[in-house]
Amino acid sequence: MTKIEKFLKALRDSDFFIEHIYMNGGCYQLYKVIKSVFPDAEPYFSKELVHIAAMVDGKLYDIRGPIDENTVGGFVLMTPEQCQEAESWSFAENNDLYYGECPVCEEPIRIDRKKLMSRVKQC
């Protein structure tokens, strides 16, 4: 296992929600974390413009680890303008976290960050 693979595994194992966060809006933020540890990392965009991966030592990675060789051709190096736009991407701004199920009705219990933050501001 390479250093980047060990790093990503340790990150994934650090919390139940980590993979979900970095696969649903936080992929550019993950690239920035990777770059802080692997300074030569470069950001690559999927051709569909929906996912960002980091190129490290000639291989692409996301939070799940190395990206399948057959998929690599679907990624292109990001432009500075794309990087600037991706800076605003955030899991927390666009998603809720699933907390569990109600023990009575079995409906999902979700943490809505926007509602939570509005309540905090009222305090």
Q: What is the per-residue pLDDT for 91?
A: 77
Q: What is the per-residue pLDDT for 106?
A: 78
pLDDT digits (tens, 9 = 90+) for 51-102: 999 999 999 999 999 998 677 678 999 999 999 999 888 776 666 566 667 7
Walk across the sheet containing 65-66 and list its strands: 65-66, 59-62, 52-56, 42-46, 75-77
32-41, 59-68, 92-101, 113-122: which range is least confident on average? 113-122
Q: What is the per-residue pLDDT for 104?
A: 78
pLDDT band with cut points at 50, 70 and 90 for residue 109: low
Q: What is the per-residue pLDDT for 97?
A: 61
Which residues touch 75 (CB under 8 Å, ≥6 apart)? 44, 45, 46, 47, 53, 60, 67
| Identity of residue 15 | D
